[in-house]
Amino acid sequence: MLFLFSFACFTGGSNCNDDFGYYQSQVSDIVESKCLGCHSADGLANTTRLKLQSGDDEGNFEQLSALAKIQTEDGFLLWNKPTGQHEMGHVGGEVLAEQSNEALVISKFIGMSNDLVETCSDEFIIEAQELICDDNAYGKRLLRRLSHQEFDNTIEDLFGIDSDWGSKLPKDNVVDGYRNNAVSLQVFGGMSELYMMTMEDIADTVVSERLNTIVPCSAGNRTIACAEEFLLDFGTHIFRRPLNDDEVSDFLSLFSDVYYDDGFEEGMKWTLTAMLQSPHFLYRSELGVQNENGDFQLTSWEIASELSYLIWQTTPNRELLDLAEQDVLQDRGEVLSQAYKMMNHPKASNSILEMTNQWLGIENLSNESRGSVDDPLSVSVKEDMVTETNRLMMHAYSENMLYSDLLVSNASIINSNLAGHYGVEIDMSQVDADGFAHVEFGSEQYGGLLRQGAVLTKHTLPSNSSPVLRGAFIRERILCQELPPPPPNVSADLPQVAQDISNREKYEAHTTNTECSSCHNLMDPVGFGFEHYDELGRWRDQENGFEIDDEGVVFNIDKDDVPFSGVEGVADVLAGSEQVGECYVQQWFTFGYGEGNREDKDIACAVQAASDLYFEQGETMQAPILSLIQLERFFMRKGEAEEGDTMALNSVVELKSDEIEESYSGDSEDSVGEDTQDGVVVSYEDTSWGSAGYHRVITVKNVSLQSLSWTISYEHNGSTVIDWNGFCTQQGAIVHCEGDELQSGESVEVGYGVQY
């Protein structure tokens, strides 16, 4: 948190030389309108420490000035809560936009309450924390399991067969909006069995259909030597790096055993089956090799994969593997020039469309039911809508349009089926082989990213246009703002109203009712801009016989509230927003790197750096992808604490309870460590290293469902241990700590000093 103090004198400051005067003249109105809805005796937030009463300035002032004095290391509570910056969040959401006049009043009130300024004539501004980034915002060393989409593309490109094996597996988890999150992609539970069945099926197909294209020998020469050559040559494609000797011998021994029993084809089948189940195929390695600074430099092989999966969502082709073999992919310039080339290859559509369809949430549309039960929207229209968006996006990327131009564009690419659905004409002489034509819409309100049938149909209720869902889409996907869920114990019904009002009037209850308005103001007033579109994405002049009012406000965009008129107005507001551009980069970052948690400072810094590059490079459609490649993060990974200095040797942890009685040796060569054993997590960290010794802090957490007692021992050769909190004793080189009855979920911190 940055505090800016300056002492400027305002002329004409009235009645503001004492805190209460300032409260009455400036703060009270804000409190009455922004806080009282929930923070009242019968309000939603009546169990919090702020319980206000309408009109009671004195009582309210007393509470707020007490609150204004509460300060943690993250800053002032009274500032962090309403501006949505508190680490625990604010159930009511962000009710004050930073830098709004109201926020300035609150910040000055905080300054006065804490005697940081004397009167309200003095300026006191709390600014948002600046993100302070160092140059080495590298990611972690990772194994990234192939997503199902990457898996299918990889199988297709390796073997030249069609693959929907991946898409038939249980779906990957969606994290931060995408299903390729590096942490979440794992092989657990029944997955190994499903992979086994899948790989056997694939190997069967490959051997029966494509054997000639993958083995380097003619039908008469199919021997063990041929299999070995296959491993040394084609193996490099499957593992995305050459196999080492051990791996070759693993597979060759399996091959020969099967070969002697059942011949070459069966041998190849089992060899392929095994190769595809190996972690070296299933995971993309981003581990690197440690350099002299302790960081890890990705190998050229790893960079070839990273590049290929980022831009093509598939395994590196022969050209990239050749470059990796020559080890030229450490050269940032070479990688960038490859990237430019790859962006303009048809395979770039793999990535662009996968990212787009998850970003816009439309990947499942053709499987979702829409329209009325008697007159459902046909699958062909839903599929064509997704095709429309995909065609438009491919056009935007291949022309490398400005992202802002795509937002305001009134062009799209449709076929006669969609033309019929939308009620527009297309010139059939212009259609391509697939029946689609590029159409510039004039007075008909279609085209551009926001007026896609797929987007408008997806983000609404199936039988009714929903300003809430459309607004939420803009907030979350276009502005990258997370919305809080509706608070509990508030009726989420729209109040029953007379039938003869418009859809908009029904929803307006959300924004007039203070309980709802703090959040719904972020959604509904944006969504109102789309009221001319029905739930199937069709323009309507009237809604249910009512004239349509599609004026609205985008609250809290670039720290401002911007009114607009109609969908074109929304598009203009968004196209002019820096936040919208940053969000577009963030979306690509999350998809490209498989991690998007902005709470992680390194990620936030990397997104910011990529976003700077995006703006430098002209805010084009392709710029975010190329920005990702220009980060040092693309080539480097962070060293892990594991590789740090070591003092303690041979730790032994013993856990005891009725149910648990086991001992094990943990890795002890580390200054930080963690071990999980049957329901217990033991982690330790050595800190405050000095010439005399260091401190070891151990946390024991019971993650089992029963209570337990525990003992832990560590070996510290030749050191004296000073116990802090009575859990540990030393006998010779062994330090022995123990404690009783840790309840389920509880943890305890134990520490001692080690003297050299």
Partner 1 sequence: MSFSISRRNFLRGVGASSLLTPFAGSLSRNAYASEGNPKRLLVFFTPDGCNPNQIWPTGEERNFQFASGTTWEPLQSIKDDLIFIKGLNFYNIDNHEPGMRAMLTNCGSLSTSSLSSIDQVVADHLSTTSDNLSLRRSLELGVFADKEGGNSQTRMAYRNGQMVTPNDNPNAIFDLLFAQEYQDSGTYDKVAARRQRVVDITKGHIAALRQRLGTEEKRKLDAHTESLFELEQQLNAPEISTDIQLEHPNIASYHSNGNFSQVLRAQMDIAANAFAFDKTRVASIQVGRTVFGEQVTWLGYSDGHHDLSHAQFGTEKAQRFVNTLRWYSEQFAYLVQKLKSLPDPLVPGTSIFDNTIVVWAKELGHSTYHSCSDVPFVVSGGGAFEAGRYLDVGSKYHGSLWVSIAQAFGLEMDSFGDSGSGFGRLEML
Q: Which of residues 332-391 bind partner 1 (CB under 8 A)?
A: 364, 367-374, 376
- What distance in Å separates the CA atoms of residue 653 and residue 701, rounded to the nearest whole number? 13
Shortest Å, Cβ 376 to partner 1: 8
Of residues 178-217, those binding partner 1 (CB under 8 A): 179, 183-184, 186-194, 196-197
Choose among 519, 513, 581, 598: nearest CA to 555.
519
> Is 661 among the residues that bind partner 1 (CB under 8 A)?
no
Helix (H, G, I), strand (E, B) or coil at 257: helix
Of residues 618-657, those binding partner 1 (CB under 8 A): 640-642
Choose among 496, 560, 567: nearest CA to 531.
567
> Is 501 among the residues that bind partner 1 (CB under 8 A)?
no
- The DSSP letter of residue 423 is T
What are residue 296's DSSP bridge partners? Answer: 290, 637
609 touches 137 (CB < 8 A):
yes
418 touches 385 (CB < 8 A):
yes
> Is 171 among the residues that bind partner 1 (CB under 8 A)?
yes
DSSP character string of 345-380: STTHHHHHHHHHHHHTT-TTGGGS--B-SSSBPPHH
User: Which one of residues 744, 749, 755, 756 is an interface residue with partner 1 (CB under 8 A)?
Assistant: 744
User: Which one of residues 30, 68, 120, 142 is an interface residue with partner 1 (CB under 8 A)?
Assistant: 142
> Is 278 among the residues that bind partner 1 (CB under 8 A)?
yes
- Inter-axis angle of helices 264-277 and 224-239, to 10 degrees? 20
> Is 87 among the residues that bind partner 1 (CB under 8 A)?
no
Q: Which of the stretches 118-126, 447-455, 488-496, 515-523 binds partner 1 when contact is defined by CB under 8 A?
A: 488-496
Of residues 287-306, those binding partner 1 (CB under 8 A): 287
User: Which one of residues 139, 673, 693, 751 is an interface residue with partner 1 (CB under 8 A)?
Assistant: 673
Shortest Å, Cβ 462 to partner 1: 5
Q: Which is nearer to partner 1, 180 or 417 (CB)?
A: 180
Strands 75-76 and 708-715: unpaired
What's 10-64 look like in SS3?
A: CCCCCCCCCHHHHHHHHHHHHHHHHHCCCCECCCCCCCCCCCECCCCHHHHHHHH
User: Which one of residues 104, 211, 254, 394 is an interface residue with partner 1 (CB under 8 A)?
Assistant: 254
Shortest Å, Cβ 436 to partner 1: 25
Q: Count of residues for the chain? A: 756
C-alpha dist (Å) from residue 455 to 477, 591, 607: 11, 19, 26
Q: Which is nearer to partner 1, 104 or 287 (CB)?
A: 287
> Is 492 among the residues that bind partner 1 (CB under 8 A)?
yes
Shortest Å, Cβ 715 to partner 1: 20
DSSP character string of 609-645: HHHHHHHHTTSBSSHHHHHHHHSGGGTEEPPPGGGS-
Shortest Å, Cβ 610 to partner 1: 24
Mask of contacts with partner 1, 693-722, x by CB under 8 A? --------x-x-xxx---------------
Shortest Å, Cβ 135 to partner 1: 22
Q: How many residues bind partner 1 (CB under 8 A)?
A: 86
24 touches 65 (CB < 8 A):
no
Handedness of CA 53, 55, 60, 64 (dihedral sign): positive
Q: Which is nearer to partner 1, 116 or 197 (CB)?
A: 197
- What distance in Å separates the CA atoms of residue 749 and residue 756, rounded to the nearest whole number? 23
> Is 659 among the residues that bind partner 1 (CB under 8 A)?
yes
Handedness of CA 713, 715, 718, 723 (dihedral sign): negative
Of residues 255-274, those binding partner 1 (CB under 8 A): 257-258, 261, 270, 273-274
Q: Which of the stretches 12-20, 93-101, 217-225, 455-463 binds partner 1 when contact is defined by CB under 8 A?
A: 455-463
Phi, psi of 275 (to 5 degrees): -60, -40
> Is 690 among the residues that bind partner 1 (CB under 8 A)?
no
Q: Which is nearer to partner 1, 186 or 542 (CB)?
A: 186
Q: Which of the stretches 103-111, 170-178, 536-544, 690-698 binds partner 1 when contact is defined by CB under 8 A?
A: 170-178
Of residues 232-251, those binding partner 1 (CB under 8 A): 246-247, 250-251
